Chain A
Amino acid sequence: MRDNVRHRAAHPARYLVPAFVVLGVFFFLPTVFNFVYSLTDWSSFKSEIAFVGLQNFQDLIASGTLLSSLRITLVYAVLVALFQNLFGLLLALLLERDTRINRFARVMFFIPVVMSALAAGYVFQAILKPDGAANAVLGALVGHPVTIPWLGDTTWTLVVVALVHSWKWMGLSMLIYLAGLKTISEDVLEAARLDGASAWTTFRDIRFPLLAPALTFNVATALLGSMNGFDIVQATTGGGPARTTELLNIFIFRTFGQGLFAQATTMSLVLFVVVVALAFPVIRTLRKREEVL
């Protein structure tokens, strides 16, 4: 009891105020304003801001662009979650042992994570141009010139940019899977070996299930992070060709740039709601898998 009192005296609640002020001003308040402005006609064209009720929502639903952008965003997020985890896991398994080469390789694969996303995007844009490096390499391999417009296909470009996104972030997934692999007890693996389990069986039945917490984190961050994706796609395709890679954030950026601030705010609110609506079931499902541990 006395300990508790002393503890309280040393850490009074007012010490929390600065942290909460920062949280309030930079996180809580913008979110609240996001709600408020989406109900107005705020634009660059006039000074007054009037409440217009749900007009913005009605317009957005009626136009259909919102739904198509939302669909593209979801497909993109799922692809990124899939690729990023697949690559990250493969890299982690490949580089699991602490040899000097592996340590070097881990650093190399982590470098894209700390790189500027725009820089990465522009580099890939140059590589994937019809007369870029990717086609030059392919051309040298097959022996005749290749001019595949990697970023000019209305169906597959979305997959290509999702791969670029996954490439940039796979180092982070790798690191988390590596940490997860390290926590698996040697005893369990040794027991499996003694029972004659093959490497594949060990992975499928023991190591992968024990990686559940790492998988939860990786899938959730990749999925929800790429829902908010903007920089890589903006740098590689700018939403093209024919807006087949126009993520919701790019659509929002474009709308805001036209001076339709309220409409842009409404869209970002929709994105916020969708991310939240997606986050809870995804995280709950993944946490359920961990309960067996």
Chain B
Amino acid sequence: MKKYLTIPTAVIAVGLLAAGCSDPTAGGGAEPGAEPGTGSADWPAQDTDLTGTTLTIWAAQNSNTAPDAVVEGFEELTGAEVEVVTIPDPYEQGVQTKVATGDKPDLAFWQPTGSMLTALNAPTNLQPLDGAPWVDSYSGDLADMTGILDDTRYAALITSPAVEGVYYNKEVFSEHGITETPTDWDSFLETARTLKSDGETPFFEMGGDRWATQWWVQVQLADAAADGLWDRVNTGEEKFTDPTILGAIETYQGLIEEGLFNEDIKTATFEDQADALLSGDAAMAVQVNSFFGQLQAKADTEELNEKIGFFPISPTGNVGTFIPDQSNALVAFKTGDADREAAARQLLAYWLGDGYADFVADRDTISLRDDVPTPDSVPQALLDVHASLGDSVGSMQALAVANPDLYLYLADMIQGTTTPDEVAQQTQDQFAQLARAQGIEGF
């Protein structure tokens, strides 16, 4: 009897082994580089009838209500049904895992940076959005700022990309006679030291929740980034362990050791950081737009306009570092169903077309189109963030080919278990590992 069972089991195993080694997303002959039958970029009119079509949008816990107004308008206009599915946090990991196993939505919120588009294997999995009808109506340089990988547009930017910079408490500043915001790194630190000598906590960092630690290093790299730092890192010519990046890490640690940060830096959370800035317990925090979202959850526009300001910072001036995130953009997937793919493009065209005014009003957010006004109720700090985009430079996430866990290694350093040298080395090792997995030369 034993014999009976071992033979079929072995046959099944060997058969599946032989068939097994292929990526489920590679089906349908969609080789990267080759132009597949689906995903060609013709753009249906925004009001084309879609009765009977159901589209799925994947969204994260902090972006799942964003499509509400657009979905309602689109369903009414076209008869399509749009379903917004929330993928639990950590969102990016969840989406990558699902896509790896062949599960794809029609549209998804996604960080429109090169490294994250690569992580989704954009040439194979995503519809190219070249020739999209909305591209020409973006204000300023927004059209070419992000969402593009190897000269192909894959992501549609819907909201103002996040910028790393300094959020500060205006009341604390004026209490200590500081009337002008710092104009470069040195005056920034001078301001902090003045506040410290007056008994304030100049900076607040959330070492417990970890992910914001990297902003401190990245804003120091703004000048180098403008000078092609990440291009050199991408080819292996320059490393995280070289003086530029390592120096920024060392400076960060030096400031912590100097006592310019909150005492509970090791355990403080994102929420603590927002509370501290709003109450004036701390004067400044280097953060991104989602931090302001947290402040908005705690206070109304009037209070925020009164208390919270924003200025970008870089070594020699006030240059911001932009870092588009998942809530800023959408990507459209190649699902293999040409009609649904076209419908997905149609929804994007409507979102950034006739539906955009409703979207902006519903979300109370900054308009990316000159012909659609930004609502008056948008807080001043957010307008300042948006204004800084014009001359901002790309962050590591925006310009490097891979996105190593720099924040995690920095958090280790804050806990006191690693040195800046080790942080740089660990980041470089992981960067090289990710670059090698992508098949990039030089790694």
Contacts and interface: CB of A to CB of B under 8 A. Distances in A.
Interface string A1-27: 000000000000100100010001000
A43 interface: yes
Contacts, number: 116
A45 B124 CA distance: 10
Nearest to A8: B1
B17 interface: yes
Given A13-B4, A259-B437, A47 B417 contact: no
Contacts of A187: none
A154 B417 contact: yes
Interface string B168-209: 000000000000000000000000000000000000000010
B433 A260 contact: yes
B26 A243 contact: no
Contact of B20 (A36, A48, A263): A36
A33 interface: yes
B26 A258 contact: no
A241 B25 CA distance: 37
A59 B93 contact: no
Interface stretch (B77-85, B94-102, B134-142): B94-102
B97 A59 contact: no
A142 interface: no
A129 B119 CA distance: 35
A243 B32 contact: no
Chain A interface SS verdict (over half): loop
A49 interface: yes
Interface string B116-150: 00111100100000000000000000000000000
A46 B266 contact: no
A49 B9 contact: no
Given A36-B21, A242-B417, A48 B26 contact: yes
B9 A44 contact: no
A149 interface: yes
Contacts of A40: 21
B437 A49 contact: no
A130 B272 CA distance: 12
A154 B415 CA distance: 8
B376 interface: no
B417 A45 contact: no
A32 B437 contact: no
Interface in A204-260: 240-244, 253-254, 256-260
Interface in B387-411: 405, 408, 411
A44 B119 contact: yes
A42 B23 contact: yes
B20 A259 contact: no
Given A47-B23, A47-B26, A263-B433, A244 B417 contact: yes
B384 to A, nearest CB: 33
B412 interface: yes
A63 interface: yes
B314 to A, nearest CB: 29
A237 to B, nearest CB: 10
Contacts of B32: 46-47
Given A49-B21, A49-B23, A242 B437 contact: no
A112 interface: no
A29 interface: yes
A156 interface: no
A46 B121 contact: yes
B412 A243 contact: yes
Nearest to A16: B5
Contacts of B417: 154, 242-244
B297 interface: no
A47 B34 CA distance: 13
A59 B435 CA distance: 14
Interface in B276-327: none
A261 interface: yes
Contacts of A260: 433-434, 437
Contact of B118 (A29, A42, A45, A154): A45
A258 B96 CA distance: 8
A152 interface: yes
Contacts of B92: 257
Contacts of A48: 23, 26
Contacts of A129: 267
Nearest to A41: B437
B27 to A, nearest CB: 9
Given A44-B99, A47-B25, A242 B439 contact: no
B326 to A, nearest CB: 14
A104 interface: no
Contact of A46 (B4, B267, B429, B438): B438
Nearest to A62: B429
Nearest to A241: B415
B394 to A, nearest CB: 20
A44 B120 contact: yes
A11 to B, nearest CB: 11
B267 A13 contact: no
A44 B9 CA distance: 31
Given A63-B429, A154-B417, A47 B9 contact: no
Contacts of A41: 437
B210 interface: yes
B12 A152 contact: no
Contact of A20 (B5, B418, B429, B438): B5
B13 interface: yes
Interface of A: 13, 16, 20, 24, 28-29, 32-33, 36-37, 40-49, 59, 63, 129-130, 149, 151-152, 154, 240-244, 253-254, 256-261, 263
17 contacts: A29-B13, A33-B20, A36-B17, A40-B21, A45-B437, A46-B32, A46-B124, A47-B26, A47-B121, A49-B22, A241-B208, A241-B415, A244-B417, A256-B93, A257-B90, A259-B100, A263-B437
Interface of B: 1, 4-5, 9, 12-13, 16-17, 20-23, 25-26, 30-32, 90, 92-93, 96-97, 99-100, 118-121, 124, 208, 210, 264, 266-267, 405, 408, 411-412, 415-418, 429, 433-434, 437-439
| Ranked 7 nearest A-B pairs via Cβ | A257-B93, A242-B415, A47-B26, A242-B417, A242-B412, A152-B267, A43-B437
Given A28-B9, A29-B12, A46-B121, 11 more contacts: A13-B1, A13-B5, A42-B23, A44-B121, A46-B439, A154-B417, A243-B412, A243-B417, A256-B97, A258-B119, A260-B434
